[in-house]
Chains A and B, each alone.
Chain A
Amino acid sequence: MAPTVSALDTTETTRRPFSGRRVRFGDTLLRVVAGGAALGAAVLLGLIAYKLVQGAHLALSTFGLGFLTHNIWDPVHLHFAAGAFLFGTVVTSVGALILATPLALGIALFLSELAPSWLRGPVSALVETLAAIPSVVIGLWGIIVLVPLMHDHVDPALHSVLGWIPLFGTSTSGNNYFTAIVVLTIMITPIIASLSRELFLGVPRELKEAALGLGTTRWEMVRGVVLPYARGGVAAAMILGVGRALGEAIAVSQVVGNGTFIGANLFQGGDTMGSKIATEFLNAVPPMEPSALIYLGLILLVLSIAVNLMAQLVVRRASRRLRG
């Protein structure tokens, strides 16, 4: 037939280090394996959601959405609802956000604008360290040190000064919402602070210098240039902080006490969804109680996904606004 032509072809291909078929096979293999791993992550996420819905199915079909609004947790008569724990979760997370935000922004401003350069490195390292301390250690400190301190000194002092506000009622035990708020504040402040610090440092220097050149004081520069520039990112950092606080189970369960209390008084013990799962899950009597606890977990999952998407949305909108 045409042996000469094919001989010419072989010399051409053998000269190249990799022949066509092997190239395509290797590339396809790596693409498929790596793509499979990426797909695996998505499948994992789906599987987590599926398993939680499956586990909560019994409670979902028995209590429906009324689970969210009623307030009862009665393992004896098998009647469960999440009201008090939803309340506890929201109160402690929002309370922690209210305490942590000014603190974190102050630290971030200090680190990005005020601190002398020799202090910047050590203080930011300390803030990162605080973020790395495991929740169970903060909880240990909470049980042994913070709870008695709050009960003996802080709670009575706040009650005597601010007792006319219903939030600061009488305190019967140091294991209460307010102690949980303090613990959560310690946990989320470094997160918000270090994210905000990076945002503040990312503000273009010429914008800051332009403001200062117009004769503004440092605070006016921060208020007029730095804060507007970083607003979206700071909001996202706050949302991420709340997300972390919502899902924290261990440290909160160690200091929040227990019960199904709903009311204005922060010095009452209660439970959050996370702490309820952490303390009850292994002792729960099947089939209904574990299912109800998994329902709590499902609510947490939905909340955490919603919070994450919200943060992404805020960041995307802010970056679009900055690009103009």
Chain B
Amino acid sequence: MSATELSVFGRPNDRLRRRRRVNRVIELIAWLAAAVGVALLGVLVGYVALRGASQLSLGLLTKPQVPYALTSVSQGLANAFVGSLVIVGIATAMALPFGMLIAIYVSEFAPRAIKGFVGLVLDTLAGIPAIVVGIFVYGLLVVGHGQSGLDGSFAYAIIMLPFVARSTIEILALVPSSLREAGLALGAPRWRTTLGVVLPHAIGGILTGAVLAVARVAGETAPLLLTTSIVGQGIAWNPLHAMQTVPVAIYELADSPVPSDHALAWAGAFVLIVFILIVSLTARWLAGRSRRKLTGISR
């Protein structure tokens, strides 16, 4: 006690030693934090990989679920994969053009004050909990009509919209203004310059943003739970009816008391994670390339 207090007033040597010791302790803590983070990820992904990869088979991709089977039948998640693909595809088709238009307005036309306002709206939309989006779509579309894949797509599109719009705004901001000026100087009107010069120049980056939004949304469960979860058996391609999806299937199977259902849930989780990782890694790689192209830095 007295030793440490004294050392503050003691020889500079003691003080320095103490400062260094504090520094070393803090550095150790930061190393530990990073180790814990990495370990957490390792445990999570490791578990999913261990439990999931062993369940991988062709049947997983080709056979549908067989709920309430009394005997053990071989079943897969084909119905869930089909539903997820269709729903995410339709959601992208809704959110991408809408988000691109918003970004075009913000970066090419909007006055400063409106720019800020639209940015605020997008941030607020992005912050709305997924389950609230689910309730909204339930109240808007499901009540009175029943669930459908389209309702799920609409909910997904709402979640994707702010991401697509934000990333497109960022990409359009990277397009050099000299390109716009060149188009205008040739006598092309604003709209020709925007659609014929600015967008084609940025299209790689815009699509990358859309792909990242797909990766972000593909595992969302809450909105689908309310809008497209009460499903029949077998594989269904029609988005006008409720469709089974991978996240909802995992959610339901995880709660089941049957061990074989858990195995199916792990398999679904494994495929979902692999999909998300591949998609987001590819997108990141493409993003690096298109950003280099836009900013003209070649490394």
Query: Chain A residues in contact with chain B, CB under 8 A?
Result: 16-18, 22-24, 26-27, 29-31, 33-38, 40-42, 44-45, 47-48, 51-52, 54-55, 102-107, 109-111, 113-115, 123, 126-130, 132-141, 143-145, 186, 189-190, 193, 217-220, 222, 240, 243, 246-250, 254, 274, 277-278, 281-282, 293-294, 297, 300-301, 304-305, 307-309, 312
Contacts and interface: CB of A to CB of B under 8 A. Distances in A.
A123 B247 CA distance: 27
A30 B194 contact: yes
Interface stretch (B85-93, B202-210, B271-279, B290-298): B271-279
B182 to A, nearest CB: 14
Given A130-B37, A218-B23, A247-B130, A38 B110 contact: yes
Contacts, number: 264
19 contacts: A27-B191, A41-B118, A41-B161, A44-B125, A48-B132, A48-B133, A55-B135, A129-B277, A130-B44, A133-B45, A136-B269, A144-B262, A189-B40, A250-B221, A250-B247, A250-B251, A254-B255, A278-B225, A308-B124
Contacts of B120: 312
Contact of B34 (A18, A111, A300, A309): A111
Contacts of B139: 51-52, 54-55, 294
A281 to B, nearest CB: 6
Contact of B106 (A38, A55, A128, A189): A38
Interface string B185-200: 0111111101100000
B148 interface: no
Interface in B16-33: 19-20, 22-23, 26-27, 29-33
Interface stretch (B2-10, B53-61, B69-77, B97-105): B97-105
Interface string B168-194: 000000000000000000111111101
Contacts of B125: 41, 44-45
B37 A249 contact: no
Contacts of A249: 129-131, 222
Interface string B128-147: 11111101101110000000
Contact of A114 (B30, B44, B127): B30
A127 B33 CA distance: 12
A55 B124 CA distance: 21
B250 interface: yes
Contacts of A33: 101
Nearest to A223: B26
A38 B105 contact: yes
A107 B33 contact: yes
A31 B105 contact: yes
B36 A34 contact: no
A311 B123 CA distance: 10
Contacts of B244: none
Contacts of A126: 37-38, 41
Query: Considering residues B106, B118, B222, which has the most beta carbons from chain A within 10 angstroms of its beta carbon?
Result: B222
Contact of B37 (A127, A243, A293): A127
A38 B165 CA distance: 10
Contacts of A308: 123-124, 127
Which are the 3 A-B pairs with shortest beta-carbon distances?
Answer: A134-B219, A106-B33, A247-B129
B131 A136 contact: no
B131 A297 contact: yes
B215 interface: yes
Given A30-B195, A38-B110, A45-B125, 13 more contacts: A23-B190, A42-B117, A44-B161, A45-B121, A47-B136, A51-B140, A107-B30, A134-B276, A140-B269, A189-B40, A249-B222, A250-B251, A312-B120
Nearest to B186: A17
Query: Considering residues A105, A126, A144, A250, which has the most beta carbons from chain B within 10 angstroms of its beta carbon?
Result: A250
B37 to A, nearest CB: 5
A323 B15 CA distance: 36
A247 B29 CA distance: 30
Given A137-B48, A277-B135, A312-B120, A30 B104 contact: yes
A217 B16 CA distance: 9
Nearest to B195: A30
B14 interface: no
B291 to A, nearest CB: 15
Nearest to A142: B254
B235 interface: no
A38 B102 contact: yes
A193 B38 CA distance: 12
Given A16-B187, A254-B255, A219 B26 contact: yes
A126 B45 CA distance: 11
Contacts of B31: 110, 114
Given A141-B48, A274-B129, A107 B34 contact: yes
Contact of B219 (A110, A137, A220): A137
B164 to A, nearest CB: 11
A104 B30 CA distance: 9
Contacts of B262: 144
A140 B250 contact: yes
Contacts of A293: 135
B222 A27 contact: no
A304 B21 CA distance: 42
B127 A23 contact: no
A170 to B, nearest CB: 26
Contact of B189 (A18, A55, A139, A220): A18
